[in-house]
């Protein structure tokens, strides 16, 4: 055998190895991350001619000469008893029944910085990096496996106060976000040789992503979306949201009276969206009075809102939110992975002594991720019959992983990265990928 023939034979013998799946470089599809409620920064500035501050400190103290300042999240504002009422006033939304939409407090202009980048949701308060990490660890791990900011890694922060509404109802801010997200997806695909995009969401971000897919054609979704990975999504709302409406929220600060922020919490459109869904929670009592004054289930939400004094919340809840959440529809033709923690005690029933909601209730706990109840986290598994057999739905349950721990715990991050690796490795879609 000549030396030329020997080397040709050696080359041919090596072909299966050289072109095996294991030896080929992994194609990283572009990845877009959508954070949860309160996960990204929100900036504001005040128009002194239009804004009427609650007190003198709410004027120039937080925004001199109309300059932009970080409204969310700035712990120094929340920890200061002088500026806390200002924060509540400037964060709240106002529903106009004539326009059938929400808007800011008059004279308060807001914007979301860093759209297109992950920079705005690495830390909740960028002044306190060691104490407010949100997605910094996750993003760092993504970069270690080859993702690069602005090339194949992008972020879609949004004004998390504003939600969406059912068909026929305007939702200017939320709809503008979905349009910007759609354009980001298309541009990210174009930058990456027209490869479809992976959507990676956390918490409320999953609900926005699902609405995006519902509001665009199945052909658009199949062209531009490779896979949808939803972490800790509150598909059916959460009992804790009912606690916030009833008795306020201190946001984890021992110095904050929860009642100070209650009306501001009532005003946020996304808080209405996150109330326990009657489809998911049905008629089980959630708010219970020991003296039998009145018990409330998710099916009695309008009555509950009236009872606590949030009567102005009833119309937008019934007309805008309920039509949007009556059914949980899967995204047509888009494979999904639902990943959630469980095994963490999560508020399930709120017990009040005599129906007085100005006091914090006794809480009966059940299963969940510490923030969202398990029945809500697993709603797709329970309601989308047959999708798992078609390989259009995969559910991954992570024991003893909390709502935000899924973004930080080593074991959880390993599962997230493993799922991303499998999605990036999967080339051929099932012919039955249309539902």
DSSP 87-143: HHHHH-EEEETTTTEEEEPTTEEEE-TTTTSSGGGSBSSTT-TTT-BSSHHHHHHHH
Using CA atoms, how far residue 418 sits from 6, 228, 291, 402, 412, in Å, is 41, 14, 51, 19, 10
369 tagged catalytic = yes
Burial bucket for residue 389 (CB in 10 Å: 0-12, 13-18, 19+)? exposed
Strands 42-46 and 31-34: unpaired
Using CA atoms, how far apart are residues 95 and 105, in angstroms rounded to an integer?
10
403 tagged catalytic = yes
Query: 136-144 and 410-425 are packed helices; what angle lies between their axes, rounded to 10 degrees?
Result: 40
Phi, psi of 206 (to 5 degrees): -65, -35
Contacts of 42 (CB under 8 A, 6+ apart): 70, 71, 72, 110, 111, 112, 159, 160, 161
Q: Are 69 and 45 in contact (CB under 8 A)?
A: yes
- Given 342, 369, 402, 409, the catalytic residue: 369
According to DSSP, residue 384 is labeled: S
169 tagged catalytic = no
- Given 63, 203, 376, 402, the catalytic residue: 203
Using CA atoms, how far apart are residues 37 and 161, in angstroms rounded to an integer?
8
Position of tokens 């709603």?
A: 379
Using CA atoms, how far apart are residues 47 and 59, in angstroms rounded to an integer?
9
Catalytic residues: 203, 369, 403
């Amino acid at each position: 055998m000549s030396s030329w023939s020997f080397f040709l034979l050696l080359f041919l013998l090596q072909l299966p190895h050289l072109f095996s799946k294991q030896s080929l470089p992994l194609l990283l599809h572009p990845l877009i991350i959508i954070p949860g409620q309160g996960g990204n920064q929100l900036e504001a500035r005040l128009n002194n001619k239009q804004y009427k501050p609650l007190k003198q400190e709410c004027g120039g103290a937080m925004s001199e000469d109309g300059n932009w300042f970080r409204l969310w999240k700035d712990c120094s504002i929340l920890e200061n008893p002088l500026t806390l009422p200002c924060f509540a006033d400037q964060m709240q939304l106002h529903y106009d029944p004539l326009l059938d939409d929400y808007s800011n407090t008059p004279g308060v202009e807001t914007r979301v910085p860093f759209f297109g980048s992950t920079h705005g949701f690495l830390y909740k308060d960028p002044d306190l990096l060691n104490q407010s990490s949100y997605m910094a660890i996750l993003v760092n791990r993504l970069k270690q496996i080859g993702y690069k900011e602005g090339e194949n890694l992008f972020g879609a922060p949004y004004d998390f106060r504003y939600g969406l509404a059912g068909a026929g109802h305007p939702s200017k801010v939320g709809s503008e976000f979905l349009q910007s997200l759609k354009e980001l997806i298309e541009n990210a695909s174009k930058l990456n040789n027209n490869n479809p995009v992976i959507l990676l969401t956390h918490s409320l971000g999953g609900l926005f992503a699902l609405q995006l897919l519902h509001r665009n054609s199945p052909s658009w979704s199949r062209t531009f979306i490779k896979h949808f990975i939803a972490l800790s999504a509150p598909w059916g709302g959460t009992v804790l949201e009912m606690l916030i409406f009833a008795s306020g929220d201190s946001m984890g600060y021992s110095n904050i009276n929860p009642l100070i922020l209650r009306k501001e919490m009532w005003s946020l459109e996304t808080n209405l969206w996150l109330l326990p869904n009657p489809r998911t929670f049905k008629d089980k009592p959630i708010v219970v009075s020991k003296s039998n004054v009145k018990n409330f289930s998710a099916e009695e939400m309008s009555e509950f809102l009236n009872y606590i004094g949030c009567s102005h919340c009833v119309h937008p809840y019934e007309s805008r939110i309920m039509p949007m959440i009556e059914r949980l529809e899967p995204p047509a033709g888009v494979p999904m992975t639902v990943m959630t923690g469980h095994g963490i005690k999560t508020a399930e029933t709120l017990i009040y002594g005599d129906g007085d909601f100005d006091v914090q209730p006794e809480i009966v706990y059940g299963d969940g991720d510490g923030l969202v109840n398990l029945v809500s986290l697993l709603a797709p598994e329970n309601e989308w019959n047959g999708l798992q057999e078609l390989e259009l739905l995969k559910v991954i349950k992570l024991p003893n992983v909390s709502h935000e721990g899924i973004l930080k715990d080593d074991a959880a991050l390993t599962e997230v990265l493993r799922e991303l690796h499998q999605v990036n490795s999967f080339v051929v879609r099932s012919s039955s990928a249309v539902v």
